[in-house]
Amino acid sequence: MPKYNICLDVGGTKVLGAIFNENDEIIFRLKKRSAARGNASADVEAVIIEVVEEMIAQSGIDRKDIHAIASCAPGVIDQDRGVVLFCPNLPWRDYDMGAAMREKFGVPFFVGNDVNLGVLGEHEYGAARGYRNVVGFFVGTGMGGGLILNNELFTGHQFKAAEYGHMVLDPKGPKCGCGQRGCLEAFSSKTGMTNYIRKQLARGRTSLMAEAVKDGVFRSKKLKKAVAAGDPVACEAVDRACHYLAIGTGSLINTLSPDLVIYGGGVIEAMGPVFLEKILSELDRYCMPSIRSTVDVKLAELGDDSILYGDLALIHRGDAVV
């Protein structure tokens, strides 16, 4: 009986792969950059296939022992058909990823939105185990969301649910990449914090973050060091991000009354305790006390592996349906 599952985390610049054994343990990992060149869609697909092929070869497992493959993609995903409908950071529109992978490897293939799978991974294997209703915020370059309702991943009409990053919290606020103003993402993501820091630098202020935001969004470790050093501009950016995360979290607590809210993503991995303390210091202002009293708030546990474990959960849930 096939005993290995291959799980992939496909981002705008890299593909991370892992092989899980029959005990749901990672036995092999591989990471490759996926910078597109000419035919961007084909380039990324080629890297995905390379990662899978190299993992099989380097790990020494037999191809006939592969049970299934699963992947994420950062966009709107039709999980039922395995089709990437839209992907903002990759050149995919109505891309039948499932058909391409099944044709190449001849095994079942599953695909889902990256943050949805990150939250699902935490629900099945991490901080959200044992909770029926979970709201997840993943803070990175953008702001992603995932939602578990009654132990099931909720993706909404046409798989577009849980875009918490685009809740408008201030209609006169900063412009967001989605075209709206004052979205949570425009305040609390790395992009939002980078834009705030640049604005302060343009006003003549100085900051330890000046070099880090010069050519793009900062690396999370740079922000952590600047905040630890007491840099005023960096501290303001974090305070502002956490303020709006508290408002957004409070609104969702009031709307959904979840068992748990979790925070994950690159920024949280780097400085989660700082963010959590600041969010919790304000959160009660934005919730009905009777609802807030029944909600736990935690940091994600699985780090970079949350999506990989979400892939694995997708495979197991597919097995259960079959």
Provide the residue count of the chain: 322
Q: Are residues 167 and 273 in the same domain?
A: yes
Q: Are residues 279 and 175 in the same domain?
A: yes
Q: Is residue 151 domain-resident?
A: yes
Range of the domain at 25: 4-118+305-321
* Residue 172 CB coordination number (10 Å): 6
Q: Are residues 217 and 272 in the same domain?
A: yes
CA distances from 318 to 137, 216, 313, 322 (A): 25, 39, 8, 6
Q: Is residue 239 domain-resident?
A: yes
Q: Are residues 171 and 263 in the same domain?
A: yes
The pLDDT assigned to 41 comes to 57
Q: Are residues 314 and 249 in the same domain?
A: no
Q: Are residues 148 and 242 in the same domain?
A: yes
Report how many domains make up the chain: 2
AA letter at 164: Y
Question: Which residue, among 48, 5, 80, has the nearest Cα to 309 in the 3D structure?
Answer: 5
pLDDT tens digit sequence for 239-263: 999 999 999 999 999 999 999 999 9
Q: Is residue 26 domain-resident?
A: yes
The band of 135, judged by pLDDT with boundaries at 50, 70 and 90, is very high
Q: Is residue 70 domain-resident?
A: yes
CA distances from 252 to 32, 79, 97, 138, 292 (A): 36, 25, 32, 15, 11
The band of 293, judged by pLDDT with boundaries at 50, 70 and 90, is very high
Q: Are residues 16 and 97 in the same domain?
A: yes
The band of 99, judged by pLDDT with boundaries at 50, 70 and 90, is confident
pLDDT tens digit sequence for 22-44: 999 999 999 988 755 444 556 77
Q: Are residues 216 and 289 in the same domain?
A: yes
Q: Is residue 315 domain-resident?
A: yes
Q: Is residue 104 domain-resident?
A: yes
| Whole-structure pTM value | 0.92
Q: Are residues 140 and 111 in the same domain?
A: no
Q: Would you say residue 109 has pLDDT above 80?
A: yes
Q: Is residue 101 domain-resident?
A: yes
Q: Are residues 310 and 295 in the same domain?
A: no
Q: Are residues 90 and 153 in the same domain?
A: no
Least reliable range by pLDDT among 41-45, 263-267, 274-278:
41-45
CATH of the domain at 65: 3.30.420.40
Q: Is residue 123 domain-resident?
A: no
pLDDT tens digit sequence for 149-189: 999 999 999 888 999 999 999 999 999 988 999 999 999 99
Mean pLDDT computed over 107-113: 93
Q: Are residues 203 and 171 in the same domain?
A: yes
d(CA 254, CA 256): 6
Query: In DSSP terms, which residues pair with 84 in a beta bridge?
Result: 77, 95
